[in-house]
Structure 1
Amino acid sequence: MAAQTPTYSEEAALSLTLAIVVSSPGPLLLLDGDLNVLAASASFSEAFGIDAENAPGRQLSHLGVGEWDTPQLRSLLDATRSGSAKIAAYEMDLGRPGQGARRLIINAQRLVYLDEENLRLLIAVTDVTEARADAQLKDDALRQNLILLREVRHRVANSLQIIASVLLQNAKKTQSDETRSHLKDAHHRVMSIAALERQLAGSGDRAVELHTYFTNLCESIAASMIGDAEQISLVVTGSGGVVDDRVSVSLGLIVTELVINALKHAFPHGRHGKVTVDCQFHGPNWVLSVSDDGVGMPTNPADIHVGLGTSIVQALAAQLQATVVNEPAYPGTRVAIAHTQIALVDDADAEAVERPAA
């Protein structure tokens, strides 16, 4: 038995299309080739204050009080009905007297069906006014929080500098060499943390470029601790990297402790030398090291003393899920903090591993 060929009824097809558009839960418009409204969904009429019964037969530009008559929208619809373009997520502002502007996203396309002589355009409208307003409020709040954070950090840095000055004055007044040494250590640490806060206050966002950050930090430490730049130099090398401010604080404190330790112990009796801060990034993996060409580590393990600075570095490295390695540099000492998240494998090597042997 031969299959029956379904008959085509333009009137039935149009009736079905109009019923689908009118009952759509989202704002829809069906237009003819002259941009006259054939049907408007109830949700469109409700959302934009349009009389659903009187909308069919009217020009799109005549809906409401003329707010839909915009040159940009008409140009896009002209291009769409000619087949040369399709409106995809076009944003426009809909203004109506006595009402605030509404932000809309317009999607429109030419319908392709059997009756090619009668052109039809389907338009979907999404009101994103509230979503855009919420996003703007969040952006404004974030900017305000960043401004407040920079201000707090600036004030903290000023307060720390005052504390450092008091510590230095007390160090000069004390008669005890041991007390003087402890006060000077505290002074250097407070000054370095103040420098950290100033750097972060001036960064302007949550991303910190480490090479510049370490350079400015080491300049502050050198100004505080190195009396003769020709005797001891402090340099920053490496490719650096970009991290968020939380990580940068920990890395800055690590650098501060290691540099202070090197300046205190690596060059006794006026010895000349150099301290190098190096940071290398390879994707999620990085190595931060502080090395010197000084007298080196004690040969007798009993002479190795774990002080406050070492404990601070170990604790900060643990927070960053990194490991600390102390090793001789011949000459001098090198302390490296390494963070390894994944194994770096060259693409060619990976293919060689996966490819079976011939």
Structure 2
Amino acid sequence: MESKIAEGKSILLVEDEAIVALAEKKVLEAEGYRVQIVSSGEAAVEYIQEETVPVDLVLMDIDLGPGMDGTEAAQRILGIRTVPILFLTSHTEREFVAKAEGISSYGYVVKHTGDLVLIASVKMAFRLAEANHRIAKELEERIRAQEAQRMSEARLQRAELAAKVGNWELNLDTGTITGSEGATKIYGLAGTAFSYEEIKKIPLPQYRPTLDKALKELIEEGKPYELEFKIRTADTGETKDIYSVAFYEADRRTVFGVIQDVTAMKRTEQALRDAETLWRFALEGAGHGVWDWHIPSNRVYYSSQWKRMLGYGEEEIENRYEEWESRVHPEDLPKALKAVEDLLSNRVELYHCEHRLRCKDGSYRWILDRGKVMEWDSEGKPLRAVGTHTDITEQKETEERIRHLLQEKELLLRETHHRILNNLSVIRSLLSLQAAEVSAPEAVESLREAQARIDAMRVLYERLFRSKVQKIVSLRSYLEDLVRDIREIFPVEDRVKITVEGEDLSLSPRQAVPVGIIVNELVSNALKYAFPGKRRGKVAVRLRGLEGKCRIELEDDGVGFAEARKSPDGVYRLTCGTAEENSTIDESMERKGFGLGLVSVLVEQLAGTCKMESRAERGSSYLLEFTQEVLPGSGS
């Protein structure tokens, strides 16, 4: 028995004399105790705070030299947690004993009285600690039993009261309480609206702190309360026992509550039944079928309208769950059962499923099935679910007709795009054949330019033909394909690098066509004129969207326009669109030949601006800006 006391016990030995501490540790460890030594009161407090190894008893010297003495260390330790403390000291003077007596300790052992005394004192301290623990546990269990008995008696008392119930509402902004008729009768009040300060006087004074604390926690923490208290009615002074519950609606800054006795409880239950009858009547009148499922028994109430939807009379369908499940179309049943399982397992709050149900004549009708769990048991398992059936057969048939029409439209559009692509390819081939037959350089050049313009539209139509979304064009991808085709028409080998950089903007086809032709003209001009001979260089196209505008920059590092080379300052500027009013512009773009004239017309079509600046031997740059059209599904 004695060995069991020491088994697994941990002792913190607080001793400033190292040799003494080692001797005491050896004696204690021989008895099976685990001993940890610290040499000061400060170290002992820190050890308990950190408690890397649990401590079952502190063996504390009183005189620990400079710093905190043993009694102060013991007080601090007991302030951290409850642990048995046994004082061990060589002092027997009255003042030392008095210090120890003022602390909740487990004894006072004088040093050098022998190992047997030390071991016996330690064992006695452990027995006393265990006895205290048992007493505290028994006291706690007794209090808990008394509380359980009190709560049981309170519930029994509430159940036996002549039932009355009332509800109230506290507006925190106005400080006004509005009470139902039942609530005002319970409180003995006349009227329906009262100040909060007036109502506070009705509960007996001893309950006021508890009620105020519960209301404060309800508002600050959203914690509903359930309280019992007594009141003295305002009219007769009669004392009543009240059971109250309350909750808080933060968005309205309003507290709602119910005070209860037996009569009002019956009134409330009846009101709930009336309300349920009313909403069922309303749903039936709107053509919705109603179902009410008692989940543990699998009993289901099906309303008359629910049965009429499927062509059944009132007595032809029983109140069983299987009546619904057996009629669900086999293709829809897995989906429907999964939706039910999600509801019952609390993965979703609302049940929502579209499925087909078999009618009495064997046909199927589409049903929108919706529901919600309304009651749970004490373990949180669903007890009751309520929902509706809505016949959506006509809606589904309309959706199917629309789907077929959209498919037909899609086929027609793709066929149209296919024919346009074929026609553009034929025109391009004819231009290519014609260019091969003529020998005049100017004629060949004109045919190539026409071929490039045809390519600008052909590339766009190819993208639309391949895309599933034919109302939106990816500008960057479109221009990358276009630039690739331009290189084939104007071969410059590898001495001129062409890049498309920046954001991948989205345009409508109506804007993408003129943008493609503009970029085609400007890139073609750069390849034809900016890099004469074997000059090397680059052409860069940069895209950027900013606040609903599309910004396209195109620049090369070629020789520049001839006008720039002739200009005194080596700079030549062109513009078109609304930017023509700028006085720094040398000339309008529309007067610079067919290609740039075409660019000017297309910029006007985009309601945008285009500015060009060319510097002798430093290349040319263009800036095209226009407002992007709002695209389908953009949310603008």
TM range (shorter): 0.7 to 0.9
Deviation at 1:153, TM superposition (A): 2.7
1:169 and 1:27 map into 2 onto residues whose CA distance is 73
1:247 and 1:112 map into 2 onto residues whose CA distance is 59
Instruction: Tell me if 1:314 matches 2:579.
Output: no
Partner in structure 1 of residue 322 of structure 2: 61
Give the 3-state SS of the residue equivalent to 1:145 in structure 2.
helix
Q: Would the aligned equivalents of 2:490 and 2:528 in 1 still touch at CA under 8 Å? A: no
Q: Deviations over 1:325-351 (max 9, x none)?
A: 21236711111212467xxxxxxxxxx
Instruction: Tell me if 1:104 matches 2:367.
Output: yes
Select the residue among 485, 496, 504 that pairs with 1:220: 485
Aligned length: 333
Select the residue among 309, 315, 320 that pairs with 1:47: 309
Instruction: Tell me if 1:208 matches 2:468.
Output: no
Q: What amino acid does structure 2 have at the position aligned with 1:3?
A: K
Deviation at 1:67, TM superposition (A): 0.5
TM-score by structure 2 length? 0.45
Q: How does 1:138-149 map to 2 (within 5 A)?
A: 138-149=402-413
Instruction: Tell me if 1:335 matches 2:631.
Output: no
Select the residue among 557, 560, 564 that pairs with 1:296: 560
1:84 and 1:215 map into 2 onto residues whose CA distance is 48
Q: What amino acid does structure 1 have at the position aligned with 2:374?
A: L
Q: Deviations over 1:47-68 (max 9, x none)?
A: 222323555x6214226x9315
Whichever of the two has the greater Rg, that structure is 2
Question: Measured at CA, do residues 273 and 13 of structure 1 come closer, stay the same or move farther in structure 2, by a change above 3 Å?
Answer: closer
Q: 9-18 vs 159-168, which deviates more?
A: 9-18
2:279 and 2:497 map into 1 onto residues whose CA distance is 78
Give the 3-state SS of the residue equivalent to 2:504 in structure 1.
coil
Q: How does 1:109-188 map to 2 (within 5 A)?
A: 109-111=372-374, 120-173=384-437, 178-188=442-452
Question: Measured at CA, do residues 320 and 7 of structure 1 come closer, stay the same or move farther in structure 2, by a change above 3 Å?
Answer: same
Select the residue among 262, 268, 278 that pairs with 2:542: 278
Select the residue among 259, 272, 291 that pairs with 1:29: 291
Q: Would the aligned equivalents of 1:21 and 1:39 in 2 still touch at CA under 8 Å? A: no
Deviation at 1:223, TM superposition (A): 0.6
2:289 and 2:350 map into 1 onto residues whose CA distance is 16
1:336 and 1:203 map into 2 onto residues whose CA distance is 29
Partner in structure 1 of residue 276 of structure 2: 17
Q: What amino acid does structure 2 have at the position aligned with 1:310?
A: L
What percent of counterpart residues are identical?
24
Does 1 or 2 have the higher relative contact order (CA < 8 Å, sep 6+)?
1
Q: How does 1:216-295 map to 2 (within 5 A)?
A: 216-226=481-491, 228-269=492-533, 271-282=535-546, 284-295=548-559
Q: What amino acid does structure 1 have at the position aligned with 2:623?
A: A
TM-score by structure 1 length? 0.74
1:84 and 1:303 map into 2 onto residues whose CA distance is 68
Question: Measured at CA, do residues 233 and 150 of structure 1 come closer, stay the same or move farther in structure 2, by a change above 3 Å?
Answer: farther
2:538 and 2:272 map into 1 onto residues whose CA distance is 85
Partner in structure 2 of residue 356 of structure 1: none
Q: Would the aligned equivalents of 1:104 and 1:128 in 2 still touch at CA under 8 Å? A: yes
Deviation at 1:128, TM superposition (A): 3.4
Give the 3-state SS of the residue equivalent to 2:494 in structure 1.
coil
Deviation at 1:79, TM superposition (A): 7.1
Q: What amino acid does structure 1 have at the position aligned with 2:266?
A: Y
Deviation at 1:28, TM superposition (A): 1.9
Q: Would the aligned equivalents of 1:18 and 1:38 in 2 still touch at CA under 8 Å? A: no
Partner in structure 2 of residue 90 of structure 1: 353
Deviation at 1:205, TM superposition (A): 2.4
Deviation at 1:258, TM superposition (A): 1.7
Q: Deviations over 1:30-56 (max 9, x none)?
A: 3344343435153x333222323555x
